[in-house]
Amino acid sequence: MNKHPFDQALRLEAAGSDRPNTWLGASSPAYWNMVGPFGGTTAATALQAILLHPSLLGEPIALTVNYASAMAEGPFSITATPVRTNRSTQHWTVELLQADASGAEGVVMTATAVTAARRETWSANDTPMPAVGFSDALPRLRFGTVEWTNRYDMRPVRGMIPQVWDGAGQGGEEGSLTQLWVRDEPPRPLDFPALTAMADAFYPRVWLRRATRVPAGTVSITVYFHADSRQLAQGGGGHLLGQARGQHFRNGFFDQVVQVWNQAGALLATSSQMVYYKE
Amino acid sequence: MNKHPFDQALRLEAAGSDRPNTWLGASSPAYWNMVGPFGGTTAATALQAILLHPSLLGEPIALTVNYASAMAEGPFSITATPVRTNRSTQHWTVELLQADASGAEGVVMTATAVTAARRETWSANDTPMPAVGFSDALPRLRFGTVEWTNRYDMRPVRGMIPQVWDGAGQGGEEGSLTQLWVRDEPPRPLDFPALTAMADAFYPRVWLRRATRVPAGTVSITVYFHADSRQLAQGGGGHLLGQARGQHFRNGFFDQVVQVWNQAGALLATSSQMVYYKE
């Protein structure tokens, strides 16, 4: 068994031959956030249930995960259903259920995904990596005491988390821009679930934008995969460059757009999310 | 009955008291694309099924629609299920089924959505509208002979559809950038379904990027709603400014990011999609 904490967090066991689409897992204390596990691991778990499925066609193209409720400590079940299989694409719905304190099962997360067998075609990257180099001398990002942040080595290049919460945030296109190098800690070979989690690893844009720490939590995240598994493996477990920016903040919700490149400058994934915030 | 073709396209009838989450509709010839109706109307139909639901909480925040198969001419059923209702947010799954030629029902579209009762909070738009004015003198976009394009008045400001398919497209951040004014034709008061459809109204970025007309079709679209219904209604049925840009094209799929503003400069929605292309 792989002992990396990320693999342990994503461990799923088949629920049995009478429930062929369902797996059993448990929330991970190693990735604990404030009121549940880090949403990136939940999104990665949705993808993992698809990747484990014996009927899987191709590799991930698009994944959307909606966080319906905070996940509690303890076991859950997750069901990934291939609702339509075409010649080269496959469509998935995913649902994660967990019992609440009273024992009643409730929906904690829903997801949809598209997988596909890709063919080689004309290709072009129109979003080059910003010209920022990686250096071990960059200070590590630490925010608060939440456990999951210890599972990543994050080195901000710009848009560090505010050191003073004085409400003096800046507007404009770069007001909420963060660029950071990120890898699993300890290092782990990159794969689709790990990339998915890293696309969600940015602290809330509203904190940077306002230099004010308000309650915030993702309600929906979408990840588009541009890389294939061979390309992911090529970079080993080295740092990726991630970039996140909020576009609009209004009446309790803001959106965020994300790009993730490897050190060779390949754009591995793009992502967006809608985030709830208070006040 | 409202006679606007968009309202006719979105007409849904309750399937009956034994199927409280299900509605019956039919694909719209007025919005026909090449091998099925315009995907924007399909996405709007997913939202419409939610908006009609008697248990609806709040207004749309996030919507993701996956196109599993081309919709055929004729009737379909659509089921919108509120899978989790919290104090101020609600989570939805949606599935659209249609019988194929043999009479067997298949999944044509899946969707998820989050709706919420918003509260007034600190707000900021960090993505100002490009400084381009609307003018009736701008030429209307016409592409091909597909029927749905007659249902929109689209006036490109930049990134017009190539007039010559010579393969001489341009790269870089603006290589696939289109900015256009768009409204329903004839005009119709703006609401969430109409805004959803307009977020999908851009012709494939790969056509502009390559000046080559290859087969292309959206597999997944996500729309984030920043406006509330009152704000949508304020703009009446006037033109909106939409902007679309491809970030990465690779081995059969590219992604596209979209922003939509009203003429007062309010960012009403942001959107992204992953699009299949051939060759």
Residue corresponding to tokens 């089924």: B97
Q: Are B222 and B177 in contact (CB under 8 A)?
A: no
Flag whether the ipTM exceeds 0.85: yes
**Residue A250 to residue B123, Cβ atoms within 8 A:** yes
Q: Which of A84, A93, A248 sits opposite B106 (nearest CB)?
A: A84
Mean pLDDT, rounded, of chain A: 95
3-state SS, residue B173: coil
CA nearest neighbour of B68 among A65, A78, A112: A112
Q: How many CB pairs under 8 A join A and B?
A: 212
Residue A241's contacts (CB-CB under 8 Å, 6 or more residues apart) are A129, A130, A132, A134, A157, A179, A180, A181, A182, A260, A261, A262, A263
**Residue A247 to residue B253, Cβ atoms within 8 A:** no
Q: Are B31 and B5 in contact (CB under 8 A)?
A: yes
CA nearest neighbour of B273 among B240, B241, B242, B244: B244
Query: For residue A98, how many C-alpha atoms fall within 13 Å in the half-sphere facing its CB?
Result: 21
Q: What angle do CA B239, A271, A233 make, to 5 degrees?
A: 150
* Tokens encoding A128: 């080059």
- B-chain CB neighbours of A122 within 8 Å are 210, 249, 279
Please compute the mean of the pLDDT values over residues A226-236 and round it to a whole number: 91
Choose, out of A63, A67, A69, A251, the residue to mutate when testing the contact with B (most B CBs < 10 Å).
A251
3-state DSSP: chain A helix, strand, coil percent, rounded to 5? 15, 40, 45
CA nearest neighbour of A79 among A60, A93, A61: A93
Please compute the mean of the pLDDT values over residues B120-145 and round it to a whole number: 90
**Residue A68 to residue B83, Cβ atoms within 8 A:** yes
3-state SS, residue B222: strand
> Dihedral of CA A225/A39/A13/A190: which sign?
positive
Q: Which of A86, A173, A270 sits opposite B126 (nearest CB)?
A: A173
Cα separation of B57 and B87, whole Å? 9
Radius of gyration of chain A (CA): 18
Q: Model's pTM, two decimal places?
A: 0.97
Q: Are A46 and A113 in contact (CB under 8 A)?
A: yes
- What is the pLDDT at residue B64? 98
Choose, out of A90, A110, A259, A276, the residue to mutate when testing the contact with B (most B CBs < 10 Å).
A110
Cα separation of B45 and B22, whole Å? 12
Cα separation of B254 and B176, whole Å? 11
Q: How confident is the model at residue A1 (pLDDT cuts 50, 70, 90)?
A: low
Cα separation of A82 and A77, whole Å? 17
Find residue B97's DSSP bridge partners: B77, B107
Distances from the Cα of A267 to the Cα of A123, A275, B247, angstroms:
12, 24, 9
**Residue A111 to residue B112, Cβ atoms within 8 A:** yes
- What is the pLDDT at residue A41? 98
Q: How confident is the model at residue A155 (pLDDT cuts 50, 70, 90)?
A: very high
Q: Which of B66, B83, B124 sits opposite A110 (nearest CB)?
A: B83
Task: Find the residue in A nearest to B172 (Cα).
Answer: A126
Distance from CA of A117 to the nearest CA of B (A): 9
A141 pLDDT more than 90: no
Q: What angle do CA B229, B54, B89 make, to 5 degrees?
A: 60
- B-chain CB neighbours of A68 within 8 Å are 83-84, 86, 91
Q: Higher-confidence residue: A143 or A33? A: A33
Please compute the mean of the pLDDT values over residues A33-58 and round it to a whole number: 97
- What is the pLDDT at residue B80? 98
* Tokens encoding A261: 């490149």
Could you count the other beta carbons within 10 Å of the beta carbon of residue A59? 17
Q: Higher-confidence residue: B25 or A139? A: B25
> Exposed/middle/buried for A206, CB within 10 Å: 0-12, 13-18, 19+?
buried
Percent of chain B at pLDDT > 70 equals 99
Please compute the mean of the pLDDT values over residues B198-222 and round it to a whole number: 96
For the stretch B3-49, pLDDT in tens is: 999 999 999 999 999 999 999 999 999 999 988 999 999 999 999 99
Cα separation of A173 and A246, whole Å? 8
**Residue A89 to residue B248, Cβ atoms within 8 A:** no
Choose, out of A42, A65, A66, the residue to mutate when testing the contact with B (most B CBs < 10 Å).
A66
* φ, ψ of residue A157 in degrees (nearest 5): -95, -40
- What is the pLDDT at residue A209? 96
Please compute the mean of the pLDDT values over residues A180-189 and round it to a whole number: 96
For the stretch B69-114, pLDDT in tens is: 999 999 999 999 999 999 999 999 999 999 988 889 999 999 999 9
Percent of chain A at pLDDT > 90 equals 86
CA nearest neighbour of A11 among A40, A47, A45, A53: A45
Cα separation of B225 and B91, whole Å? 15
- What is the pLDDT at residue B163? 87
B142 pLDDT more than 80: no
3-state SS, B126-160, equals CCCCCCCCCCCCCCCCCCCCCHHHHHEEEEEEECC
Residues in chain A: 279
**Residue B111 to residue A116, Cβ atoms within 8 A:** no
B2 pLDDT more than 80: no
Report DSSP state, residue B45.
H
